[in-house]
Structure 1
Amino acid sequence: MSLVRRVGAFAAAEPVLSILVVALLALQIFAPRPLSTLPALVDWQTVMTLAGLLVLTKAIEYSGLLTWLAHRLVHHVHSERGLALLLVALAAALSTIVTNDVALFVVVPLVLSLHQLAPLPLKRLVIVIALGVNAGSVLTPLGNPQNLFLWQVSGVSFTRFVLRLAPLCAFLMAMLAVLSVCLFKTRALDLSKDATPQRVDRTLAVVAAALFGAFVLLADAHHAGIALAGVGAGFLIWRPRIVLKIDWLLLLIFVLMFIVLRSVAALPWIHHALASLSLQTPMRAFAAGAVLSQAISNVPAAIVLAGFTHDWRALAFGVSVGGFGVAIGSLANLIAVRLSGERGVWLPFHLISVPFWIAAFFGGALLLHLF
């Protein structure tokens, strides 16, 4: 394969990374900055916290604990609607502790395996699961990358962050429960044939869970570097494959996001345009986050807008709501559909997700005003 084809294949496989690289090159050509100043644009606390979480969630994933738990739970449902509600709840719960993408890597393959046992409305299930991880991940700083970034920027404690985002998460989950009841019938299902043995590496699961708690406590105390050094070194010695298998490209994407987006935001005309929005008021910060996410996704929206408002909660509300609507609003949407392998899912996805975004927008605005 020629070099051009290889580059093209890589760009197709990693479009976000490719766009960021091209954007960085364009910025250095038309609005150059000294290369020595670029690292200062990166929020390294966020990157180190993300790196540590990637190692720990990969360890939990490799232990098989989450897959074992998921298969155990589905044996307790006997209807299509019950399965949908359980899968949404499971996806949302997992996303609060192991990030929304890891939750998808557990729940979507589970649905695919169950589909081999009994005919399921696969497209609708994938759609509500994608909405579920977006809704559940709102609750904690660990749920998604934008929350992780805003938690580090805000300087508030883990507990305070959760309490401040809890009303929005509860509202979104209530909406999703109603939606699931409307979309799925009470048709009986027989999933008793799901008897595939699920092995669990108990030692790895226990160690990963214990280190997960310790890592969060250290990150909460703004010692992410120390926590990452301990977790990284420990697993490199004990289970090096876990460290080698984490999503290194995601870390690179985050570093480039900070550099590119903050460089773009610093361009005079962009800075003036964003400053003119007067995002210091909570409602404007919320609306900007919810709307901008529809164009550039919620993680970049959080990074861009964080420099123009001090109201981290309003921005967190906005970019959380922004994960719904069009598919690009959250990368979790793209991951869910990609894992499902289903064709023709984008139209039904948007027929459900866009009205959900509109309702979430007005509900989130009301909650921001009340609380």
Structure 2
Amino acid sequence: MNKIIAFFKKEMMLTLALAAAVIALFITPPSKDLLSGIDWRTLGTLFMMLTVLEGFKQENIFLPFIRFAGRFVTMPGLSFFLICCVFFSSMFVTNDVSLIIFVPLTIILFRAGNKEKYILPVISMENIAAIRGSLLTPFGSPQNLFLYGRSGVSAPVFMLHMSPLWVTSFILLFIFVKVLYRKDPKMAVYEAAAGNAASGQSGTSTTSVEWDPARKHKRIIYLCLFVLIVWTIVSRTGYWYISALAVLAAVLLSDRKILLKTDYVLLATFLCFFIFSASIAANEK
């Protein structure tokens, strides 16, 4: 019992989401409408991405990115860097793709430094960054595609009109980060980061597994699966479940232990949020 209590205390986001879902179910009992209201596509896509990212982590595919992120020894610096990654990448890979890529990475990096309490506010800002960053380009979001198609202007003119709002949003995000860490603007990401800052060293470990040629096939598999996931998101295909089954089958055949490391807590948190929102929506009907 003590372990269960400790688990829910540690996973506060899941605890809050579960409490909200349970309360909502008392208001609106489970039904077919409730099940259909849950965004299974997003859950399936998130499962695919979390599983493949866990494979990336095991095979050190993201090691260059994590090492670069490790140069930011303060929480404001790391947070703004991750927000910028979402902000600028969303212009080219759409806002939902950028979030599905960088939100799990944010969670991994923050948990490594025992900074879980900052995960929710930074992810919230990443959501804003994804929406605001993607508005610059015609293909950044479905809304932009619609506006661009209806406007009849060229891409450069469209981007010129959107740039004031885009620049203002970037400045506001910078201010938001400053406000978030206003009480401790030099907060270290890792315990050792404060001592290493003066010497220019990162608080992250630089130890890595050697690039074993024998494991090359696994890296190729995970990269191919990542491309499949991105295509599934960008194409908005209705057959997302086939991609999910393909990812599951590929991982089961090549590296089934990865499935034990997938962040099911995050999946459960999203499921609880979807149950809550679907229950409220069904009650309004």
Structure-2 change in CA distance of 1:9 and 1:135 (3 Å)? closer
1:30 Cα deviation from its structure 2 partner: 5.6
Tell me which residue corresponds to 2:199.
190
CA distance in 1, matches of 2:24, 2:202: 57
Q: Is the 8 A contact 2:56 2:222 kept in 1?
A: yes
Tell me which residue corresponds to 2:236.
221
Structure-2 change in CA distance of 1:38 and 1:200 (3 Å)? farther
1:240 Cα deviation from its structure 2 partner: 1.1
Structure-2 change in CA distance of 1:19 and 1:172 (3 Å)? same
1:221 Cα deviation from its structure 2 partner: 3.3
1:68 Cα deviation from its structure 2 partner: 3.6
Q: Is the 8 A contact 2:41 2:240 kept in 1?
A: yes
Which deviates more from structure 2 when the two are superposed, residues 215-224 or residues 205-214?
205-214
Q: Is the 8 A contact 1:56 1:212 kept in 2?
A: yes
1:160 aligns with 2:141: yes
1:258 Cα deviation from its structure 2 partner: 2.2
Equivalent AA in structure 1 for residue 209 of structure 2: R
CA distance in 1, matches of 2:100, 2:34: 32
Equivalent AA in structure 2 for residue 221 of structure 1: R
1:56 Cα deviation from its structure 2 partner: 1.7
Tell me which residue corresponds to 2:46.
50
1:61 aligns with 2:61: no
Structure-2 change in CA distance of 1:263 and 1:102 (3 Å)? same
CA distance in 2, matches of 1:243, 1:68: 24
CA distance in 2, matches of 1:84, 1:30: 41
Equivalent AA in structure 2 for residue 105 of structure 1: I
CA distance in 1, matches of 2:23, 2:171: 44
Q: 1:102 aligns with which of 94, 101, 105?
A: 105
Tell me which residue corresponds to 1:174.
171
Equivalent AA in structure 2 for residue 191 of structure 1: G
CA distance in 2, matches of 1:8, 1:135: 30
Which digits, 9 at most, give the CA deviation of each residue in 1:47-95, with x for residues without a partner? 21111111122222222233443335766x9xx89x9657632564276
Secondary structure of residue in 2 paired with 1:190: coil
**TM-score, normalized by length of structure 1?**
0.47
Tell me which residue corresponds to 2:225.
211
Specify every segment of 5 or more residues in structure 2 that has no aligned partner in the other structure, as ranges. Answer: 87-97, 146-161, 187-196
Tell me which residue corresponds to 1:32.
29
1:28 Cα deviation from its structure 2 partner: 5.1
**1:1-371 to 2 correspondence within 5 Å?**
3=1, 5=2, 7-21=4-18, 24-26=21-23, 31-34=28-31, 37-72=33-68, 85=77, 88-90=80-82, 92-93=84-85, 96=99, 98-106=101-109, 109=112, 134-138=124-128, 140=130, 159-161=140-142, 171-177=168-174, 189-192=198-201, 196-199=206-209, 203=216, 204-219=218-233, 220-222=235-237, 223-268=239-284
1:235 Cα deviation from its structure 2 partner: 0.9
CA distance in 2, matches of 1:25, 1:52: 26
Q: Is the 8 A contact 1:58 1:246 kept in 2?
A: yes
Structure-2 change in CA distance of 1:230 and 1:31 (3 Å)? closer
Equivalent AA in structure 1 for residue 172 of structure 2: M
Equivalent AA in structure 2 for residue 199 of structure 1: V
Specify every segment of 5 or more residues in structure 1 that has no aligned partner in the other structure, as ranges. Answer: 114-122, 148-156, 272-371
CA distance in 2, matches of 1:260, 1:208: 33
Secondary structure of residue in 2 paired with 1:99: helix
Structure-2 change in CA distance of 1:226 and 1:171 (3 Å)? farther
1:39 Cα deviation from its structure 2 partner: 2.1
Which digits, 9 at most, give the CA deviation of each residue in 1:31-52, with x for residues without a partner? 5344x55422212112211111
Q: Is the 8 A contact 1:132 1:173 kept in 2?
A: no
Aligned length: 231
The percentage of aligned residue pairs carrying the same residue is 20
Which digits, 9 at most, give the CA deviation of each residue in 1:153-202, with x for residues without a partner? xxxx97434958x96665443334467799879xx942258884333657
